[in-house]
Structure 1
Amino acid sequence: MNVTSSGIQETTDQTCVKIGKSPISDFLMAIYILAFIFGLIFNVLTLRPIFLQVKQKNVLGIFLLCLSISDLLYIFTMPLWINYYHQDHEWKLGATSCSIAGFFYYSNMYISIYLLCCISVDRCLVVCYPLRFKTHRTSRYAWVQCAIVYIAVVTMHIIILIFDAHDDEKNQDRCYETYPMQKTVAMFNLSRVGLGFILPLIVLAVSYWKVLATVGQSPGLSAQAKRKVRLLSFGVIGIFSVCCAPYHILLLSRSLVYFKYNDPSPKGLYCQFEQNIHWSFSVTLALSTLNSVVDPVLYVLVSNTVRNKLNLCLRRGQQTPLDECALPAYKKGKPKENSFI
């Protein structure tokens, strides 16, 4: 994260990192445009079936609704970032809009990550311990977890609104690309890597490892159902790694280099490192936006039943009962194939 303030003064008139015009800006803009279009389509497309499932007090539906709301709030700020890269990293919309856009950006990233963890743990309980936890899996249980995730992430990212992320000095007009970073922000970045990436990755890996082990030993599931579970499990871990791992690895590297070479001069090792990885870091940040696209795909469209019901809902000129658009619900008692996916 590039949140910085002017707490560290540069020793020369030169900037720590020079950001000029580059074809990479067009590439970044293309990623944001695609994420905006497909993210908006997929989230709106699946919002009605998810909402109907929430009315049936389905736990998974509640998690998915909160995930879609977070994704949509961020998607609505994407045009600001598209304009930013179209202007070759020139933010001409004011400091307030910069802070707000960044707040929704980073809040959505970690709300999505933590809600994916909630979903993975819930799936693990459904598959591995269906009878032991069936009385605890209530709609209230899901709403409380979602509220805790939202409150915790929003509170943690108030720092984004406190620190000045907009740099309009030295003929620059940057948003979240001001250098060098501040010590407080570097420490905050390290905590985000640990609590926002490493810990959730462990939770996801353990949850789906238990799910795969249980499903593999279940004689009641068809080969097709087991294949879907494997695809979903590997898909979640894979997409999580592709979208989140590169960004957090470089974020960790930047913070560690900052602490080791705390020299803000343009010729110092820290500024040279930031200059060398700037574009790579920008690309990983753009890739993280793809979470908003793959979230509904992984957890909704992966089911044949859901796809069929979405097709019914989208047929022109055909009256489709509302309950036919609902997602398959998990029912207490002996688990069925739909409860695994």
Structure 2
Amino acid sequence: MNATTPTTTTNETCVTIGNSPISDFLMAVYILAFVLGLTFNVLTLYPIWLQVKQQNVLGIFLLSLSVSDLLFIFTMPLWINYYRMDHKWGLGVTSCSVAGFFYYSNMYISIFLLCCISVDRCLVVSYPLHFRRYRTSSYAWILCSTVYVVVITFHIVILWNDNLTDTHDDNNDNDRCYETYPMENSMAVFNMVRVGIGFMLPLLVLAVSYWRVLATVGKSHGLNAQVKRKVRMLSFGVIGIFSFCFAPYHIILFIRSLVYFNNSDHTASGDYCKFERKVHFPFSCMLALSSLNCLVDPVLYVLVSNGVKNQLLLCRRRPPQMGTEECKLTSYKTEKQKVNALI
């Protein structure tokens, strides 16, 4: 959460946001994320649920991702309306806080679930015999529940301590949601912690996990070059998409906090507000870009898997006399099947 109640009581505005094509562009991004995200998540719920019924660990992680994505998607019309009204919220403090709560909760639930999946894939490949007895559906549910509880509790505490005021700025007739300038010292510190624990640490976990996956697969003599190439593409794809959706936002957030700490003059004519005016549009775009993770999750972890695509095609083309059992996703039993599921 990137906005706080202004520390200045003057009539000057640190960042002026008026009517501009920028709002239309941001609205278009959220509309795209809403339509495609809702479509992809709904289409992939059934094959994911089949995996869960088979007590497939990856299926449980995927279902947890989809639930988080859908909760965020259902609040996205509020953000579409916000940018349609040229950064005018008009729906009150509580609705702004609720919309922001689901926005940021989804972001970090997705990030940490991606970490859980990457570590799980790494352990499956590196220690298949030792890890197999611990890798149960209960293990997956506990991990997912822990991620949900920790992230949601953390954001509830933040909103409670801030008394819902740092999200909504109605000073100087702005009526903005999560776009209040300048930020307070406590929020700048929180942003730094958020970048470190919520982005840098998970990115390191992803990189190390997939580095281990690639190293293990590279040494395997039972896999052909095509399978190994697929594993490499999927591994680089995960890190690339993770960086594409989340890195730009967190980098600018980190820079904004640094500039805040390095400038004591937070008035409208000071260097800090001048900087905020320059980066407001890029920062808004990077925040909108992060919303695209809700359509990346199902595409990356379901549609790119040959096993899942084959099952979807089978279910779509099967004659009426075929039973539903033939459409169920089976467990990964061989080394090659495990590698095909690695992402």
Correspondent of 2:315 among 305, 313, 318: 313
Q: Which runs of 5+ in 1 are unaligned?
A: none
List per-residue Cα deviations over 1:40-67 (Å, max 9, x = no partner): 1111111111111111111111111101
List per-residue Cα deviations over 1:7-42 (Å, max 9, x = no partner): x224x3111111111212111111111111111111
Deviation at 1:316, TM superposition (A): 9.7
- Inter-CA distance 285–317: structure 2 relative to 1 (3 Å threshold): farther
The residue number in structure 2 matching 1:131 is 129
8 Å Cα contact 1:62-1:142 kept in structure 2: yes
The residue number in structure 1 matching 2:269 is 267
- Is 1:81 the counterpart of 2:79 in the alignment? yes
Correspondent of 2:282 among 280, 283, 303: 280
- Inter-CA distance 319–263: structure 2 relative to 1 (3 Å threshold): farther
List per-residue Cα deviations over 1:151-173 (Å, max 9, x = no partner): 11111112145442111221211
- How far, CA to CA, are the matches of 2:186 and 2:320 in structure 1? 58
What is the SS of the residue equivalent to 1:2? coil
Correspondent of 1:59 among 49, 57, 60: 57
List per-residue Cα deviations over 1:90-127 (Å, max 9, x = no partner): 10111111000000000000000000000000000111
Deviation at 1:335, TM superposition (A): 2.6
8 Å Cα contact 1:2-1:179 kept in structure 2: no
- How far, CA to CA, are the matches of 1:87 and 1:315 in structure 2? 46
Correspondent of 1:303 among 300, 305, 313: 305
The residue number in structure 2 matching 1:43 is 41
8 Å Cα contact 2:246-2:290 kept in structure 1: yes
What is the SS of the residue equivalent to 1:76? helix
8 Å Cα contact 1:329-1:339 kept in structure 2: no
Deviation at 1:330, TM superposition (A): 3.0
- How far, CA to CA, are the matches of 2:270 and 2:323 in structure 1? 66
8 Å Cα contact 1:28-1:283 kept in structure 2: yes
The residue number in structure 1 matching 2:228 is 226
- Of all paired residues, the percent bearing the same amino acid is 67
Deviation at 1:140, TM superposition (A): 0.8
List per-residue Cα deviations over 1:201-251 (Å, max 9, x = no partner): 000000001111111111111222212211110111101111111100000
- Inter-CA distance 31–320: structure 2 relative to 1 (3 Å threshold): farther
8 Å Cα contact 1:71-1:292 kept in structure 2: yes
The residue number in structure 2 matching 1:335 is 335
- Inter-CA distance 235–222: structure 2 relative to 1 (3 Å threshold): same
The residue number in structure 2 matching 1:241 is 243
Deviation at 1:182, TM superposition (A): 1.4
One-letter code aligned to 2:312? L
- Is 1:4 the counterpart of 2:15 in the alignment? no
8 Å Cα contact 1:127-1:340 kept in structure 2: no
One-letter code aligned to 2:2? N
- Inter-CA distance 273–49: structure 2 relative to 1 (3 Å threshold): same
Deviation at 1:327, TM superposition (A): 3.4
After superposing on structure 2, the runs of 4+ consecutive aligned residues of structure 1 that deviate more than 4 Å are 314-320
Over the aligned positions, Cα root-mean-square deviation in angstroms equals: 1.7
Correspondent of 1:253 among 234, 255, 274: 255
- How far, CA to CA, are the matches of 2:187 and 2:245 in structure 1? 22
- How far, CA to CA, are the matches of 1:246 and 1:319 in structure 2? 51
Deviation at 1:320, TM superposition (A): 5.8
Q: Which runs of 5+ in 2 are unaligned?
A: none
Correspondent of 1:14 among 8, 12, 15: 12
The residue number in structure 2 matching 1:294 is 296
- How far, CA to CA, are the matches of 1:23 and 1:320 in structure 2? 53
One-letter code aligned to 1:289? S
8 Å Cα contact 2:2-2:178 kept in structure 1: yes
The residue number in structure 2 matching 1:178 is 180
- Inter-CA distance 319–269: structure 2 relative to 1 (3 Å threshold): farther
- How far, CA to CA, are the matches of 2:246 and 2:321 in structure 1? 41
TM-score by length of 1: 0.94
- Inter-CA distance 216–73: structure 2 relative to 1 (3 Å threshold): same
8 Å Cα contact 2:113-2:147 kept in structure 1: yes
What is the SS of the residue equivalent to 1:282? helix
Number of aligned positions between the proteins: 337
